[in-house]
Amino acid sequence: LHPSSRSVTLAGLELFADASAAELSELQDSLERVEVDADDALVREGEPGDCFLLVVQGEATVTRDGLPVGRVGPGSIVGELALLRGGLRTATVTATTPVIGLAGDAESFGLLTETAGVRERFGRTAAQRLAASVQPVPATLQDGTAVQLRPVLPADRARLTAAFDGDFSADSQRKRFFSPGRPSAALISYLVDVDYVDHFAWVVLLAGPDEAGKGVASARYIRLADDPDTAEIAFGVVDAYQGRGLGRLLLGALGAAAPVGDVLRFRASVLADNAPMRKLLDRPNSHWTREEPGVVATVLDAPALRDLIDPATAAALEAEAQAIVAAAHLALA
């Protein structure tokens, strides 16, 4: 990075579409202009994070352990996680064209996130970046099948689409969505593009030698807007893997994540003919009601559900959820 005297303007960036001229000028005054030549690094993995960088012009690639994980361009913010957590850079960002940016410290990052509209646009991206860096938690089903659990990522769109296209029968879709139709592209976006605070989802991937990385199940909680201590839960296990304990594993995993998001209760609506789901949710503290003809609902004590899975797995899942939710809060704070 070297200081630059060329003037830059923030007004054209989509990130600042809602910002006032006064906000932008205050923000610009708190930041230092920098230039990076093509092929030079903006930040390097493993180095201390003492500033963040807002890219104003130019493009760069992001690599972790030498592998590409993303691209950044005008309006992208890099390096803020290490700065805010007081830790080391978790990725290297290398300019592919000359880059002009604005560098700042934690205080100016605070100013940036207070700028109108920035929090909404940026918070989601930051949480997703951290989610991409978490380690999947291994687990073994009773029949010996090796799986991994991790939070859902935007990149899971293809996995989810494939599952809906072939591995999830019309009857499973009916039980999951209360209608047999294939989920729309907009619904799939909603399912993979989560904020980890009000909407949290685990996915289960195969981890054995066969079909490693194939997605076989997911489960989520979505906080109720009018009752923030309570979240609606929903599950989907591909047909070939139903009845093998994945539902139970995921219910325990949601229970492990619940205290992290301050969720006290889970609520579920279930088709009355869905025997496995009713069995799964029929816990000592379940309280069932009839919601409408053919639909029953129950409310469960969320944190107690972690006892469904072994304590070490529950602890690992909770730690993973903690890391993501903390980052999402940081980005939003």
Report in angstroms how near the CB of residue 293 gets to ligand COA at its nearest: 17
In the list 64, 121, 182, 244, the residue contacting ligand COA (rule: CB under 6 A) is 244
Q: Is 129 in the site for ligand COA (CB under 6 A)?
A: no
DSSP code, position 166: I
In the list 41, 276, 299, 332, the residue contacting ligand COA (rule: CB under 6 A) is 276
Q: Is 296 in the site for ligand COA (CB under 6 A)?
A: no
Q: Are 264 and 301 in contact (CB under 8 A)?
A: yes
Residue with tokens 């803020």: 80
Report in angstroms how near the CB of residue 155 gets to ligand COA at its nearest: 22
CA atoms within 13 A on the CB side of 52: 25
Q: Is 235 in the site for ligand COA (CB under 6 A)?
A: yes
Q: Nearer Cβ to ligand COA, position 309 or 323? A: 309
Contact partners, residue 219, CB within 8 Å, separation at least 6: 201, 202, 233, 234, 235, 236, 247, 250, 251, 253, 254
Enumerate the β-bridge partners of residue 102.
33, 54
In the list 11, 110, 170, 279, the residue contacting ligand COA (rule: CB under 6 A) is 279
Q: Nearer Cβ to ligand COA, position 108 or 172? A: 172
Report in angstroms how near the CB of residue 188 gets to ligand COA at its nearest: 16
Report in angstroms how near the CB of residue 269 gets to ligand COA at its nearest: 7
Contact partners, residue 52, CB within 8 Å, separation at least 6: 77, 78, 79, 80, 83, 103, 104, 105, 109
Window 14-53: residues binding ligand COA (CB under 6 A): none
Instruction: Give the sheet arrangement for strand 41-43, strand by strand.
Output: 41-43, 92-95, 60-64, 67-72
Q: Is 228 in the site for ligand COA (CB under 6 A)?
A: no
In the list 215, 245, 252, 255, the residue contacting ligand COA (rule: CB under 6 A) is 245
Q: Are 309 and 252 in contact (CB under 8 A)?
A: yes
**Per CB under 6 A, which region of 127-135, 179-187, 240-248, 310-318 contacts ligand COA?**
240-248
SS3 content of the chain, % helix, strand, coil (to 5): 40, 30, 30
**Per CB under 6 A, which region of 3-11, 75-83, 170-178, 202-210 contacts ligand COA?**
170-178
Q: Is 215 in the site for ligand COA (CB under 6 A)?
A: no
**Per CB under 6 A, which region of 78-86, 143-151, 208-216, 229-237 contacts ligand COA?**
229-237
Tokens found for residue 228: 């923030």
Q: Nearer Cβ to ligand COA, position 4 or 173? A: 173
Q: Is 88 in the site for ligand COA (CB under 6 A)?
A: no
Tell me the three-class secondary structure of 30-96, residue by residue.
CCEEEEECCCCEEECCCCECCCEEEEEECCEEEEECCEEEEEECCCCEECHHHHHHCCECCCEEEEC
Q: Is 206 in the site for ligand COA (CB under 6 A)?
A: no
Q: Beta strands 265-271 and 287-292: pairing type?
A: unpaired
Taking residues 173 to 202 in sequence order and writing x for each that binds ligand COA by CB under 6 A, - otherwise, the string is --xx--------------------------
- Using Cβ positions, the residue closest to ligand COA within the complex turns out to be 247
Report in angstroms how near the CB of residue 96 gets to ligand COA at its nearest: 43
Q: Beta strands 227-237 and 265-271: pairing type?
A: parallel
Site of interaction with ligand COA (CB under 6 A) = 172, 175-176, 234-237, 242-248, 268, 270, 274-277, 279-280
